[in-house]
Structure 1
Amino acid sequence: MEHVVIKCGGSIMEKMPPALFENIVTLANSGQWAPIIVHGGGPLITSMLEKLNIETRFIGGLRVTTNEVLDVVEMALSGIANKQIVRKIALAEGKAIGISGTDGGLLTAEPARTSSSLGFVGDVANVNTSVIVHLIEGGYIPVISPIGADLQGQRYNINGDTAAAAIAAALGGRLCFISDIPGILIDKGGEKSKLDTATNRDIDEMIASGQIWGGMIPKVRSALNALLSGVGETAIINGLEPGSLLSYCSGGKAGTKIVLEKEAVHGNQ
């Protein structure tokens, strides 16, 4: 059985159709795949902070997290977004259990190395895969919110992409980023063409030339960072397209696979 970590960003969660959750349940029932969902919830967090009149700011794309902000982050991610996904899995006739990285010591966190001014923003120091394995063996789809704790019990807000990559690497599985576009699109003869496969060098060149721009840049950077952290294969697929996840897992050409250069399969159409 192969593990596939499915990363659902906060910006797309409200758009995800029932068909995507039905695909995830189909994978779980196949006996060949063990899907694990890791989710974000940035827009929900921002909305709740605004309603509560709690000021928040970002440094390098990461939310500065005070204890006051962290209370809201945990409430939004673990209490609202997580359970929304669990309910949608149930509607698709699947069984899911929603947990955070603090449950069962799933994600041991440490302060983020990128900056000392981010407050309680963390990186993943260790993944306790036995928590996930036990849920899967019990017939459940794990739904994970990216809150972790250190050995002293201090909570940390972990970037969802970072958490998903760490979990996929620890399980030796694939990592699939759910998006609202078909994959990496480039201009070819005045028309948009999807790449079936892209390497780290391809991506660097396309960013430099402007073919990859805007909101796609952080998506592909997250995919590359996951590869560098030990994930064997990453992909960006369109979660709004029925059957795209099943197509990807069955070896179809849904989305764009992103690999390190030595592993690249050439011949994009």
Structure 2
Amino acid sequence: MRAQQTMNLNKEQAQNIASVLTEALPYIQRFSGKTIVVKYGGNAMTDEGLKQGFARDIVLMKLVGMNPVVVHGGGPQIGDLLDRVGKQSEFIQGMRVTDTETMDIVEMVLGGLVNKEIVNLIHQAGGNAVGLTGKDGNLICATKMKMKNLAPELDAPEIIDLGHVGEVGQINTKVLDMLIQDDFIPVIAPVGVDKEGQSYNINADLVAGKIAEALHAEKLMLLTNTAGLLDKQGTLLTGLNAESVDKLVEDGTIYGGMLPKIQCALEAVQNGVHSSHIVDGRVEHAVMLEVFTDEGVGTLITA
């Protein structure tokens, strides 16, 4: 009796595997040879199980013919090191004020500790990754961010100086094209440099979006710590376009930290990326589920 139950269980498991592979096949065929830019951050960067799952997802994408490009954040890790050296973190309107000393720590954490950990995870999963920052090969030409004071009642000028906080001026894709052609997986830390050689810390979502545009990517995927974009009743929204996003901003559904993320995703599809996805990075194998299944695990945005 027990042997029969085991046989039935094994048969059911085999059928489930076959069903999964059958569902994935058209997506593998459709996206083979296409570039998919993934912004990696949030819980997926701190939970050990999610970290391992993310690396395996990226390697699987590469093995079935896709060209994944990873852009990562590292805000919590930067904050931890600043605390350890006794330096106070200061934020204005959600942006970290980055003086010269803080910029040195940002480069150490993003370009060193975090970047190399991700590269190592991909190698352990059987992939072949190369870590770089936006300073390598002049990948990210940055400009200094000029932030408007959105709270005039504060004792601050109209334009706030955040120090070494930048925006993407231009993406030089030569080094990425070379790595992709040689079957490497680029892993990019969002540090850029201006024409005078000054380093800048840049929001990882923004960098991922601009790299997706420059590479004419099939998909931009932004991992986050939410299920995606939710309506006021808490229901997941998907299949959005520019018109529907504008309405959701107007009625207050999109606000706070989700607003710049949605705007980044929308701008990418308006500039040639086929689709953008706000993906729940708390779900194990979120990247694989979004790419290879009908249902997905986030919010889809198209032009």
TM-score using structure 2 length: 0.76
Asked if the contact 1:8/1:37 (under 8 Å) is kept, the reply is yes
What residue identity is the alignment partner of 1:246?
M
More helix by share: 2
Question: Hey, which of these two has a bigger chunk of strand by percent?
Answer: 1
1:3 matched residue in structure 2: 35
Decide which of 51, 70, 76 is 2:109's aligned counterpart: 76
Instruction: Find the partner of 2:94 among 61, 69, 72.
Output: 61
Match of 2:56 among 7, 19, 22: 22
Deviation at 1:35, TM superposition (A): 0.4
What displacement does 1:187 show? 5.7
Shift of 1:38: 0.3
Partner of 2:184: 140
Contact conserved, 2:192 with 2:199, CA < 8 A, in 1? Answer: yes
In the aligned structure 2, how far is the partner of 1:35 from the partner of 1:213?
Answer: 30
Q: Give 1:220's match in structure 2, choosing from 255, 258, 262.
A: 262
Instruction: Give 1:158-169 correspondences, 5 Å limit.
Output: 158-169=202-213
Q: Percent identity?
A: 37
Larger CA deviation: 124-133 vs 111-120: 111-120
Sort the Cα spacing of 1:11 and 1:222 in 2 relative to 1 into closer, same or farther, 3 A. Answer: farther
TM-score (norm 1): 0.85
Matched, 1:202 2:250: no
Q: Give the conservation status (yes or no) of the 8 Å contact 2:146–2:161.
A: no
**Structure 2: unaligned runs, 5 residues or longer:** 1-32, 148-158
Structure 2 match to 1:179: 224
Which residue of structure 1 aligns with residue 276 of structure 2? 234
Q: Is the 8 A contact 1:10 1:39 kept in 2?
A: no
CA contact (8 A) 1:184 1:195 kept: yes
Q: State the 1:130 CA deviation.
A: 1.1
Single out whichever of 175-184 and 212-221 deviates more from structure 2. 212-221
**What is the one-letter code of the residue matched to 1:30?**
V
Name the SS of the counterpart of 2:163 in structure 1. Answer: coil
Contact 2:130 2:184 in 1 (8 A): yes
AA in 1 matched with 2:81: M
What is the root-mean-square deviation in Å for CA atoms of aligned residues?
Answer: 2.3
Instruction: Please give the alpha-carbon distance, in whole angstroms, between the structure 2 residues aligned to 1:215 and 1:150.
Output: 27
Query: 1:159, 1:229 → 2: CA distance?
Result: 19
Asked whether the equivalents of residues 49 and 72 of structure 1 are also in contact (C-alpha less than 8 Å), the reply is yes
Larger Rg: 2
Partner SS, residue 253 of structure 1: coil
- Give, in angstroms, the shift of residue 62 of structure 1: 1.6
Where does residue 235 of structure 2 map in the other structure? Answer: 193
- 3-state SS in 2 of match to 1:76: helix
CA contact (8 A) 1:123 1:158 kept: yes
Q: Which moved more, 1:226-235 or 1:157-166?
A: 226-235
Cα deviation for residue 7 of structure 1 reads 0.3
Alpha-carbon contact 2:227-2:279 (below 8 Å) kept: yes
| Distance in structure 1 (CA, Å) of the matches to 2:268 and 2:207 | 10
Q: How far off is 1:253 after superposition?
A: 2.8
CA distance in 2, matches of 1:251, 1:51: 43
Aligned residue pair count: 256
Aligned residue type for 1:249: V
Q: Which residue of 2 aligns with 1:131?
A: 175
SS class of match (1:175)? strand
- Hey, what does 2:162 align to over in structure 1? 118
| 1:49 matched to 2:94 | no
Query: Gaps spanning 5+ residues in structure 1: where?
Result: 261-269
Other structure's SS at 2:243 match: helix
Aligned with residue 199 of structure 2, among 149, 155, 158? 155
Q: In structure 1, how many angstroms separate the alpha carbons of the residues matched to 2:51 and 2:201?
A: 27
